[in-house]
Amino acid sequence: MAVKERIGKIIRVTGPVIEAEGLSGIQMYEVCRVGDEELIGEVNRVEGSNATIQVYEETTGLKPGEKVVATGAPLSVELGPGLIGQIFDGIQRPLPILKEQTGDFIHRGVLAKALPRGKKWKFTPTVENDATVSQGDIIGLVPETTTVTTKILVPVGINGKITSIASEGEYTVEDTIARIRTPRGEQEITLMTTWPVRQGRPYLRKMGSTTPLITGQRVIDTFFPTAKGGTASIPGGFGTGKTVMLHQLAKWADSHIVVYCGCGERGNEMTEVLEDFPKLEDPRTGEPLMKRTILIANTSNMPVAAREASIYTAITLAEYFRDQGYDIALMADSTSRWAEALREISGRLEEMPGEEGYPAYLASRLAEFYERAGRVETLGSTETNQRIGSVTVTGAVSPPGGDFSEPVTSNTLRVVKVFWGLDKDLASRRHFPAINWLNSYSLYIENLKEWFSGNVNKEFLDLRSEAMTLLQREDELREVVQLVGPDALPESERVVLEATRMIREDYLMQSALHPVDTYCSPDKSYKMLKMILKFYNQMKSAVERGVPISSVQKMSVLNDISRFKIVPTDEVDKRVNEVSKKIDEEFASLTVESLA
């Protein structure tokens, strides 16, 4: 039944926030059409029949007396075939369609349906007439791209018996493909449904995070892994490589679908994303990466209110595919710009400011967003309909001046379980990824221990601990080295410095632009680390027997180890055996020569 619209009028305009009167019965988060151009807005304060509305578009020219129409519905997104490969703005308007309508500059008040209405999709039913179904059950399949099949689910809140189901054929998203008899009467089901963005989609139960999200980045997968359904944060100052990191995660992460939300980033950076992503090749299928990607683009020069809504739009789209049993990787770049939009709107609402002017509810809003991540058992009435899906959220944070104690970073770290801290000094030394191994951490190590033992090697995490201990010891020696130089250290300490140099340069450094080194499997990572630590242990033994460290540093096998990162995957086992044998031979000859 259609909701009756209510009409009021503007009485005050303050930037992206307007106040309207005469809207009796209006509710929080209700969508309104503001002004003669019918700009989209959302209610965020109600006082009697007066409402304060944040407008998702430029408000220049609005004036008191213009009409405000309350639609009776919250801000919602359209869910169905046609999402994959699309580029939306923060409130799910398709940008390619807007460009066709208005040219390079988006006009105010322009509207476009998120899902194409005229396009027909091939629908294959998976249930029969008279079947009893409940919310979350799969009733049909729609091949959306060559890599993603959209599963048509019974909408939330609908349970009953199917009275009719469409035969296999082509249908638009608005065509009725099924009818279900429920206690409230017969319900028509289409390929499309809607969902309010600020409300998380329901699931049967949340599961533990016991499977890692393999990213192909050695520093992450070895030292600071995240889990499927986990939460991670990438704080870093300007130029430390946050965007490149997110690009690498989008391309290589072990997920079925990528949702990339450019939230308040500079226009040139977002342009680079929009130009590069359609050109990227999916390494798994050879198809364009866009065939399993959704982009949300809301640049810093777009209205701040839409920026505030963009991350909710992104995570609702992610939850929709999670409910179909897919693993989703969501990248938000960056939550600092989202928080700045929140701060500006809060100021316009004349709310009491908190630390650095951010609203007092900043921490709770961040927590609400990250808590929608997770690995879940989806809704479904039978075992075949109960699927496991996940949403893994990675949020970039841009602290001013690289100060990790500022409110957005500190409040984010209270919520997320993985912290990849990017270091300005490492970036200036061209060490990428510039993740500081001393500041970063992962709270998923214990949860993932069994997976790494069973799928990589039982000693993988022991090697990780040994390497991390060496890196921490190097940090302790750094001050002495800076004062007197490495030559003043005893030979045993110089062994540590040589080993950590190899770990840093030959293992942790990884080129996103090299065709081989851009991705490293967990198995290759394990074998590389084992080889480096084998060299370290033999070097330590040799030095203890009197071999000078300078002789070890001249060994030719060091060059083989440094070049191992660019060994193709299919040659790893062969090269590991060759290099390991060479390590044994060179240390044996070096020891004999030294003792002689």
Q: Taking 50 as the threshold, does the pLDDT of residue 1 lie above it?
A: no
Cis peptide before 334 (omega within 30 of 0): yes
So what's the pLDDT on residue 489? 85
Q: If residue 486 lies in a helix (H) or strand (E), which one and from where to where? A: none
User: Among 59-68, 244-253, 294-303, which stretch is predicted with the lowest mean pLDDT?
Assistant: 294-303
Percent of residues, the chain, with pLDDT higher than 90: 70
Q: Tell me the average pLDDT across 138-149.
A: 93
Choose between 507 and 90: higher pLDDT: 507
Q: What is the mean pLDDT of the chain?
A: 91
User: Among 343-357, 421-435, 447-461, which stretch is predicted with the lowest mean pLDDT?
Assistant: 343-357
So what's the pLDDT on residue 200? 95
So what's the pLDDT on residue 582? 96
Residue range 499-519, pLDDT digits in tens: 999 999 999 999 998 999 999
Q: Tell me the average pLDDT across 394-413.
A: 91
Residue range 222-268, pLDDT digits in tens: 999 999 999 999 998 888 888 888 888 988 999 999 999 988 877 77
Q: Tell me the average pLDDT across 155-174.
A: 95
So what's the pLDDT on residue 4? 59
Non-local CB neighbours of 469 within 8 Å, separated by 6+ positions: none
Q: Taking 70 as the threshold, does the pLDDT of residue 384 lie above it?
A: no
So what's the pLDDT on residue 239? 83
CA dihedral (5, 7, 13, 15) in degrees, to 10, reads 10
Cis peptide before 433 (omega within 30 of 0): yes
Ramachandran region, residue 48 (left: φ > 0; alpha: ψ -120 to 50; beta: rest): left
For the entire predicted model, the pTM comes to 0.93
Closest by alpha carbon to 62, among 109, 22, 10? 10
Q: Tell me the average pLDDT across 379-406.
A: 87
Q: What domains lie within the chain, and their CATH numbers?
A: 6-75 (2.40.30.20), 85-101+203-444 (3.40.50.300), 121-191 (2.40.50.100), 456-595 (1.10.1140.10)
Q: Tell me the average pLDDT across 579-596.
A: 78
Residue by residue, DSSP assigns 134-176 as -TT-EEEEEE-SSS-EEEEEPPTT--EEEEEEPPSEEE-TTSE
So what's the pLDDT on residue 596? 46
Q: Taking 90 as the threshold, does the pLDDT of residue 420 lie above it?
A: yes
User: Among 35-39, 384-388, 499-503, which stretch is predicted with the lowest mean pLDDT?
Assistant: 384-388
So what's the pLDDT on residue 282? 77
Q: Taking 80 as the threshold, does the pLDDT of residue 199 lie above it?
A: yes
Q: Taking 60 as the threshold, does the pLDDT of residue 390 lie above it?
A: yes
So what's the pLDDT on residue 263? 87
Q: How confident is the model at residue 329 (pLDDT cuts 50, 70, 90)?
A: very high
Helices (H) and strands (E) counted in the chain, each on its own, are 16, 26
Instruction: Give CA–CA dist 223/419, Å, rounded.
Output: 11
Q: Phi first, then psi: what are they for 394, rounded to 5°?
A: -120, 120
Q: Taking 70 as the threshold, does the pLDDT of residue 595 lie above it?
A: no
Q: Taking 60 as the threshold, does the pLDDT of residue 535 lie above it?
A: yes
- Asked if residues 466 and 526 have their Cβ atoms less than 8 Å apart, the reply is no
Q: Tell me the average pLDDT across 539-563.
A: 93
| Displacement of CA 472 from its chain's centroid (Å) | 29
Q: Taking 90 as the threshold, does the pLDDT of residue 193 lie above it?
A: yes
Strand partners, 392: 329
